[in-house]
């Protein structure tokens, strides 16, 4: 049949459209719409039916069961957090905690998990468990090199045998075939730090041949071992040898020895990109990193075998003297006793610097750190209160990294650090509105569409017809962080509404009780059995 007019053609398209495209359950009306693409905003409506967006454009008066007035507000894709530690919430026995308020209140609809080498190889079973428990945000899983290595080798400082390496490779392949997006590593942390580059390449290659990304907390972000630039080159080489994109987690120049080296760091990555390699990074907008007291101060050899063996080494006078000497140098590179803020909840030292606690106890700061590390958790497998915020970065480095076109937003949100509750509004308020390091359009692009592109998320990260309806509406004046280093668990404000898979999960800062989050598993790759 020949189409004789535009009107006839339009009618035929409407008849052929799927049923969900001919109705609207929700209309977000009159907002300033940023689509997630590198494009100027428009003013208009976003229409949603079921879990999909069906229209984005000028207002056309569509009726809907629910209308959200976005006049004077910004409408964008739900933010995607490229690096998170949400287990306290999404794995909580409490249904309300599993809604994941710290991220919802920031406007985050999707979080990347299993990072720093921690992701379980049992990806499919974990995804089923999360969805059955009803979570508030979508989850993008990685399999962790640390979890793989611990399952095969435990916490020992040794190389795998040929048979053990085969087991590690099989676990990586299994996880990829079950929907992982790639292999994450945390080579700074024991026992992953004990692995040689060749072992990491061998395991990573299993993810690479199945289309995965290499996501890394690199071996050294400072001057602990091989140094920042050598560590960066190592990660790039792992990706090249494994045939996979490289993504640097929370890219930074950490510590007094490295401050000011962001230009060299960026040049190293740019050289790899210019040579045709896909290399990207994420970053959080804070001057303090978050880690543990033992990871930041205790040398890696002293934790070989796990927590109990570390304590046994503390109990040996000669060994302790050697440990303390190295701890003093690590404290120096971190900026000294007053740059370490103790953040673990419900401890006598919570909210105090290591220097303040040492003065209160009338001991040397290193002795204070060891005293804290000796307090074990209920299982006796790790310290009970060793979380820290470590003030170790310089504004000029953070600014320059943030401005790179291949850097996206992440929180590295972990318990006890305000970044868990406040990263996206912190970036907006401080780096967009106050200091103007990046533009509003860049902020949204680096928190939505660009992130979705890097991870190859299916129909996420953009406001486009047929895409999943993950949408945030926020007040450009009122969107702001409330968490601080001393009070890190205060939800952010200014999100008028957040939809995840078409359901309103947050309205005017309060959760609705809806829990439509999904485990976004990758399509089954080849080769897979």
pLDDT tens by residue, 142-194: 999 999 999 999 999 999 999 999 999 999 999 999 999 999 999 999 999 99
Asked if 221 and 256 touch (Cβ cutoff 8 Å), the reply is no
Asked if 367 and 358 touch (Cβ cutoff 8 Å), the reply is yes
For 65, the token pair is 């069961």
Calpha distance 76→255 (Å, rounded): 35
pLDDT of residue 18: 46
Asked if 481 and 411 touch (Cβ cutoff 8 Å), the reply is no
Confidence of residue 22 (pLDDT cuts 50, 70, 90): low
Asked if 245 and 280 touch (Cβ cutoff 8 Å), the reply is yes
HSE value, Cβ hemisphere, 13 Å, CA-based, for 486 = 2
pLDDT of residue 13: 34
| Burial class of residue 508 in the structure, from the number of CB atoms within 10 Å of its CB (0-12 exposed, 13-18 middle, 19+ buried) | exposed
Model pTM score: 0.92
Calpha distance 51→18 (Å, rounded): 13
pLDDT tens by residue, 222-257: 999 999 999 999 999 999 999 999 999 999 999 999
For 121, the token pair is 């190889």
Confidence of residue 21 (pLDDT cuts 50, 70, 90): very low
Q: Is the pLDDT of residue 66 over 90?
A: yes
The Cα angle at residue 218 between residues 215 and 220, in degrees rounded to 5: 175
Q: Give φ, ψ of 398 to 5 degrees.
A: -60, -45
Report the mean per-residue pLDDT for the chain: 94
Nearest to 412 by CA among 155, 39, 102: 102
| Burial class of residue 371 in the structure, from the number of CB atoms within 10 Å of its CB (0-12 exposed, 13-18 middle, 19+ buried) | middle
For 278, the token pair is 């896909």
Q: Is the pLDDT of residue 43 over 50?
A: yes
Looking at the chain, how many residues does it have?
A: 529
pLDDT tens by residue, 68-101: 999 999 999 999 999 999 999 999 999 999 999 9
Residue in the structure block whose two tokens are 């003030």: 391
Worst-scoring range by mean pLDDT, 104-108, 446-450, 483-487, 497-501?
483-487
For 71, the token pair is 């006049």
Calpha distance 72→350 (Å, rounded): 41
pLDDT tens by residue, 398-415: 999 999 999 999 999 999
- Please, which residues bridge with residue 387 across strands? 292
């Amino acid at each position: 049949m020949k189409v004789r007019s535009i009107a006839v053609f339009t009618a035929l398209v409407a008849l052929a459209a799927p049923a969900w495209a001919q109705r609207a359950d929700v209309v977000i009306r009159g907002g300033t719409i940023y689509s997630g693409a590198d494009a100027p905003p428009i003013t208009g409506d976003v229409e949603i039916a079921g879990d999909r967006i069906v229209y984005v454009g000028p207002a056309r008066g569509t009726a809907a069961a629910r209308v959200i007035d976005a006049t004077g507000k910004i409408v964008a894709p739900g933010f995607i957090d490229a690096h998170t530690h949400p287990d306290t919430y999404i794995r909580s026995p409490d249904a309300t905690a599993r809604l994941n308020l710290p991220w919802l209140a920031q406007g985050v609809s999707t979080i990347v998990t299993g990072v720093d080498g921690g992701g379980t190889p049992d990806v499919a079973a974990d995804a089923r468990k999360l969805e059955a428990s009803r979570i508030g945000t979508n989850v993008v899983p990685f399999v962790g090199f640390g979890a793989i290595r611990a399952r095969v080798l435990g916490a020992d400082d040794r190389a795998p045998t040929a048979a053990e390496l085969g087991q590690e490779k099989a676990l990586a392949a299994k996880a990829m075939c079950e929907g992982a997006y790639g292999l994450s590593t945390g080579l700074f942390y024991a026992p992953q730090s004990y692995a040689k580059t060749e072992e990491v390449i061998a395991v990573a290659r299993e993810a690479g041949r199945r289309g995965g990304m290499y996501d890394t907390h690199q071996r050294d972000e400072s001057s602990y071992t091989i140094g920042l630039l050598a560590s960066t080159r190592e990660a790039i080489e792992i990706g090249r040898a494994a045939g996979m994109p490289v993504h640097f987690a929370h890219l930074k120049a950490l510590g007094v020895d490295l401050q000011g080296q962001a230009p060299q760091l960026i040049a190293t990555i740019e050289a790899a990109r210019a040579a045709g390699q896909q290399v990207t990074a994420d970053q959080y907008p804070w001057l303090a990193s978050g880690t543990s007291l033992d990871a930041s101060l205790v040398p890696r050899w002293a934790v070989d075998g796990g927590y109990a063996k570390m304590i046994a080494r503390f109990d040996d006078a000669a060994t302790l003297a050697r440990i303390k000497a190295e701890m003093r140098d690590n404290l120096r590179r971190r900026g000294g006793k007053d740059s370490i803020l103790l953040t673990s909840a419900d401890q006598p030292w919570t909210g105090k610097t290591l220097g303040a606690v040492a003065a209160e106890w009338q001991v040397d700061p290193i002795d204070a750190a060891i005293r804290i590390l000796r307090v074990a958790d209920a299982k006796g497998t790790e310290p009970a209160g060793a979380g820290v915020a470590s003030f170790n970065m310089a504004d000029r480095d953070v600014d320059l990294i943030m401005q790179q076109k291949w850097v996206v937003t992440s929180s590295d949100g972990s318990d006890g650090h305000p970044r868990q509750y406040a990263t996206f509004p912190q970036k907006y308020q401080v780096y967009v509105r106050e200091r103007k390091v990046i533009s509003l359009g860049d902020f949204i692009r680096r928190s939505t569409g660009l992130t979705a592109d890097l991870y190859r998320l299916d129909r996420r990260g953009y406001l486009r017809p047929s895409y999943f309806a993950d949408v945030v509406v926020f007040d450009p004046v009122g969107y702001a962080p409330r968490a601080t280093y001393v009070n890190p668990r205060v939800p952010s404000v200014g999100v008028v509404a957040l939809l995840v898979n078409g359901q309103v999960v947050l309205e005017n800062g309060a959760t609705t009780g809806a829990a439509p989050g999904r485990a976004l598993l990758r399509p089954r790759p080849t080769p897979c059995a």
